[in-house]
């Protein structure tokens, strides 16, 4: 084994100094750090400083005296909690089971004497850290055992132009490949998940995973990514009830759950007496949230669907709830669902708000009706035998698992005897016999329900017969004209595409024609002015044009001085060219004349006539003449620079140097 020391445990205690309301950047905290057994620092800082310290030091515990003070509101607190390192435990030192105590009270309990003076924020932060290090307080279960993974395109896909569709397909294809890899990695690791996908032509727009595992289990399996094509974000899910410290006692009634999965889900709960418990729906509810919602209402015994075969989401929910699945022999039709739900709503005075709730409720009712007769027999038998009717929920739930009714009744009797129930004969003797009037009343009520149901079915049958006749006529019409329509659609599609191509080609020709017309007009004007002597023609000094007109002493027009490379300048000097510059490059004329001895002038007007021809104002040649004269002066001055006076000075300097040399030699000999 190695001899290195174990890393010291780090605890950070935080107390609020100043609240910033809804603006988290204005919050100020006192931050105390304990490393091992010593308080190493106590200072103040903003939220940014607090989060940086948490990530730099990765403490095992972040201690507070009131978690809500960190952000002021649940919304702000949720933002902060997502920034805290996932391996840092959050402890509220003032919690003792279900009870919240004052900070001084906890300190006294820990044997820390504070005196009567009021604690300032820094001392409070240090005290909070010390109490957490000593093991006081309760750990807050902030995050659920699930993680949300979002995968979407890294760019908008609005590239524009003719390649826009292909560009979007490439991005969607990239998203689809990433989603496929994440699914494969999760399944290979045996991690349960749900995924909602928004598909588009050529791939996927985005996908949202709900992974039922803590964040640390995904390290090395799924990674965050922020690329040009695809972005993958991973974030833990904060518990909605993390600020509720009281224990919630689950009701013991058993439930039949109707579930309609999808982007918007429908949920319907009825108890084993056939009474409604909850009917609701919602968007983007993950399986964990649905399971929590159901479990708060009771113990799910059956998860029912209106579709056959059963959807995977229904199977997964039933597995999570440890319930069995009810699947109808065939998918329920819309007419069946409407009749089932209409009768239930009339009987119990409830309403459904949308088709999702209707489908979920019809599935739950259908499942209940499968077991309704058995449940009624059980309740009737218990009543007949004079056994207590309370506490039958557990026995009814066993009926849903297809246990024999006789076996369940025997267990009820045995349990009743154990609890000291009066003798059965005595209880049977005092049991009341139903009155004839009540029996007749119940029968009439049942008959009325059946008559109402029959009437509903009759109306629906007539509607379906009418729809069937309409569909038959429509099918006949479609069959008679199918071939002609197909051929016509193909021809129309082909012609539409040709028209579109021709329109694009015509637009292109129009643009070219407008350009040529403009150029033609300018060329005509330029030629007229050349004839009148206002303009002169000069070739353009570009690579392909110089190959056509190579002659010593030529005059060239330079469209852009930046094109004058060193090699081109050398050729210009060699061939004794003169240069006419564009007005925008006038500042380079002096440099060309004085430094390179190249005659240069600036054109006042420039007309473009073809690729290699330019027309400029004729007066520019006068400027070129003046430039050549100036160059001649510069050359002449350089040739006359070594004059007779220069020669005399040179000889005088030579004589002086010889005299100094002779004096030095004579002095040496004398020494």
Q: What is the pLDDT of residues 97-140, one digit of tens each?
A: 667 888 888 888 888 887 777 788 898 989 999 998 888 888 88
Average pLDDT over residues 426-437: 47
pLDDT for 46 equals: 92
pLDDT above 70 for 7: no
pLDDT value of residue 343:
86
With 90 as the cut, is the pLDDT of residue 359 above it?
yes
Across 352-361, average pLDDT: 94
Closest by Cα among 383, 379, 384, 380 to 395: 379
pLDDT at 6 (0 to 100): 46
Quick one: pLDDT band at residue 354, thresholds 50, 70, 90?
A: very high
Q: Look at 297 and 165; give whichever has higher pLDDT.
A: 297
Looking at residue 667, what is its pLDDT? 67
pLDDT the model gives residue 158 = 58
pLDDT range class, residue 388, cuts 50, 70, 90 = low
pLDDT mean across residues, the chain = 81
What average pLDDT does range 482-489 have in this prediction? 64
- pTM of the model as a whole: 0.50
**pLDDT at 191 exceeding the cut of 70:** yes
Closest CA to 363 of 412, 398, 328, 397: 328
Convert the pLDDT of each residue in 536-588 to its tens digit: 888 888 656 665 566 788 888 988 888 888 888 888 888 888 999 999 988 88
Is pLDDT larger for residue 375 or for residue 355? Answer: 355
Decide if pLDDT at 656 tops 70.
yes
Taking residues 30-50, what's their average pLDDT? 89
603 three-state secondary structure: coil
- Per-residue pLDDT at 376: 86
Q: Average of pLDDT values for 148-159?
A: 78
Question: Under CATH, to which class is 10-140 assigned?
Answer: alpha beta
| pLDDT score recorded for residue 543 | 57
Can you spell out the DSSP letters for 272-312? TTS-EEEEEEEES--HHHHHHHHHHH-EEEEEE-SSSSPPH
CATH domain 254-422 topology: Nucleotidyltransferase; domain 5 (3.30.420)
Least confident segment among 197-211, 315-329, 446-460, 600-614 = 446-460
pLDDT tens-digit map of 302-340? 999 999 889 988 998 998 888 999 999 889 888 889 888
The dihedral built from the CA positions of residue 176, 182, 187 and 191, taken in this order, carries a sign that is negative
Mark 551-577 as b/e (b = at least 16 C-beta within 10 Å): eeebbbbbbebeebeeeebeebeeeeb
Fold: same for 144-238 and 254-422: no
Q: Is the pLDDT of residue 379 over 60?
A: yes
- Per-residue pLDDT of 243-271, as tens digits, reads 655 444 445 689 999 999 988 899 999 99
* Residue closest to 274 by CA, chosen among 413, 386, 379: 379
What is the predicted pLDDT for the residue at 72? 79
For the segment 345-349, the average pLDDT, to the nearest whole number, is 89
pLDDT at 518: 79
CATH number, span 144-238: 3.30.70.600
pLDDT recorded at residue 431 = 41
Residue spans of the domains in the chain: they are 10-140, 144-238, 254-422, 433-513, 535-639
């Amino acid at each position: 084994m190695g001899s290195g020391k174990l890393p010291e445990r780090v605890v950070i205690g935080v107390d609020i100094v100043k609240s910033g309301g809804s603006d988290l950047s204005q919050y100020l905290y006192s931050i105390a750090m304990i490393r091992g057994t010593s308080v190493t620092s106590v200072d103040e800082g903003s939220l940014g400083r607090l989060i940086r310290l948490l990530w730099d030091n990765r403490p095992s515990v972040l201690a507070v005296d009131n978690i809500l003070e960190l952000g002021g509101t649940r919304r702000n607190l949720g933002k902060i909690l997502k920034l805290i390192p996932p391996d840092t435990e959050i402890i509220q030192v003032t919690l003792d089971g279900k009870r919240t105590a004052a900070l001084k009270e906890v300190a006294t309990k820990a044997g820390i004497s504070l005196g009567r003076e009021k604690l300032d924020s820094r001392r409070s932060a240090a005290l909070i850290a010390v109490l957490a290090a000593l093991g006081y307080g309760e750990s807050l279960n902030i995050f659920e055992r699930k993680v949300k993974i979002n995968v979407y395109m890294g760019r908008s896909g609005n590239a524009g132009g003719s390649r826009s569709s292909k560009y979007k397909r490439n991005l969607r294809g990239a998203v689809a490949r990433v989603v496929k890899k994440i699914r494969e990695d999760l399944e290979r690791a045996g991690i349960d998940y749900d995924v909602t996908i928004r598909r588009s032509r050529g791939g996927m727009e985005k996908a949202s995973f709900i992974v039922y595992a803590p964040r640390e289990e995904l390290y090395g399996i799924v990674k965050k990514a922020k690329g040009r094509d695809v972005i993958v974000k991973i974030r833990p899910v904060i518990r909605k009830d993390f600020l509720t410290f009281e224990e919630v006692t689950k009701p013991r009634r058993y439930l039949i759950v109707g579930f309609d999965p999808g982007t918007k889900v429908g949920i319907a709960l009825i108890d084993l007496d056939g009474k409604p418990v909850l009917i609701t729906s919602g968007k983007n509810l993950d399986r964990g949230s649905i399971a929590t919602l159901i479990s708060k209402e009771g113990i799910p015994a059956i998860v029912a669907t209106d579709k056959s075969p059963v959807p995977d989401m229904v199977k997964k929910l039933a597995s999570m709830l440890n319930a069995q699945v009810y699947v109808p022999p065939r998918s329920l039709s819309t007419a069946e669902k409407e009749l089932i739900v209409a009768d239930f709503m009339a009987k119990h005075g409830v309403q459904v708000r949308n088709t999702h709730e209707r489908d979920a409720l019809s599935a739950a009712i259908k499942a209940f009706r499968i077991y309704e007769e058995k449940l009624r027999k059980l309740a009737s038998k218990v009543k007949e035998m004079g056994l207590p009717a309370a506490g039958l929920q557990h026995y009814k739930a066993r009926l849903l698992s297809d246990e024999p009714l006789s076996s369940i009744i025997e267990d009820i009797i045995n349990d009743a005897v154990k609890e000291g129930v009066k003798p059965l004969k005595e209880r049977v003797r005092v049991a009341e016999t139903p009155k004839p009037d009540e029996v007749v009343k119940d029968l009439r009520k049942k008959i009325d329900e059946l008559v109402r149901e029959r009437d509903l079915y009759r109306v629906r049958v007539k509607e379906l017969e009418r729809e069937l006749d309409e569909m038959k006529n429509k099918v006949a019409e479609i069959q008679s004209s199918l071939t002609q329509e197909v051929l016509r659609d193909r021809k129309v599609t082909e012609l539409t595409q040709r028209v579109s191509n021709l329109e694009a080609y015509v637009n292109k020709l129009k643009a070219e024609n407008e350009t040529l017309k403009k150029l033609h007009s300018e060329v005509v004007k330029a030629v007229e002015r050349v004839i009148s002597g206002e303009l002169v023609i000069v070739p353009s000094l570009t690579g392909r044009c110089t190959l056509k007109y190579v002659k010593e002493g030529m005059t060239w027009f330079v469209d852009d001085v930046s094109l004058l490379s060193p090699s081109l300048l050398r050729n210009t000097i060699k061939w004794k060219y003169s240069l006419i510059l564009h007005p925008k490059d006038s500042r380079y004329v002096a440099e060309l004349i004085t430094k390179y001895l190249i005659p240069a002038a600036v054109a006042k007007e420039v007309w473009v006539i073809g690729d290699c021809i330019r027309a400029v104002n004729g007066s520019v040649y006068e400027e070129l003449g003046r430039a050549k004269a100036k160059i001649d002066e510069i050359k002449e001055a350089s040739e006359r620079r070594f004059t007779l006076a220069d020669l005399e000075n040179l000889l005088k300097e030579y004589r002086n140097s010889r005299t100094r040399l002779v004096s030095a030699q004579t002095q040496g000999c004398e020494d």
